[in-house]
Amino acid sequence: MNTEEINTLKETVISVLKTIYDPEIPIDIWTMHLIYGIDVDEEGNVKIVMTVTAPNCPVAETLPAEVRQRVEAIMGVRKVVVELTFDPVWSIDMLSDEAKAELGLDGDYNYSATDFLY
């Protein structure tokens, strides 16, 4: 793959990630900033570094598996590795202003995900 094809594949991966939702918050995982990184190499291998809203999140095992399965289904993707990390720990402050508005969160919130969700 050349650089243009890699960039196109990465954009397709992002489009797919925007269709995957955290079951507790009605916002897709891309907009929630649960995806920390996406690398696509010239062979079509994809590495995704992601997090969940809290280490004890009920979907900490199933959400990364869903991400892997959905991205593997993209034409041109050879192999997908999803790495789950908690560094940095996700917080409400990572939500975009649009996402905060959609959830009715106005102002500055200095809470952790566990304060908000659990």
Predicted confidence band of residue 110 (pLDDT cuts 50, 70, 90): low
Residue 63, domain member (yes or no): yes
Are 32 and 22 a contacting pair, CB within 8 Å? yes
Residue 18, domain member (yes or no): yes
Cα separation, 57 vs 25, in Å, equals 12
Cα separation, 40 vs 63, in Å, equals 20
pLDDT value of position 100: 82
| Domain residue limits at 54 | 3-90
pLDDT, tens digit (0-9, with 9 covering 90-100), for 17-62: 999 998 888 899 999 999 999 999 999 999 999 999 988 888 888 9
Those residues with Cβ within 8 angstroms of residue 14's Cβ, 6 or more apart along the chain or in another chain: 30, 38
**CATH at 16:** 3.30.300.130
Residue 41, domain member (yes or no): yes
Residue 105, domain member (yes or no): no
Task: Provide mean pLDDT across the span 76-82.
Answer: 98
Residue 75, domain member (yes or no): yes
Residue 109, domain member (yes or no): no
Please give the tally of structural domains in the chain.
1
pLDDT value of position 113: 46
pLDDT of 112 > 50? The answer is: no
Name the more confident of 105 and 38: 38
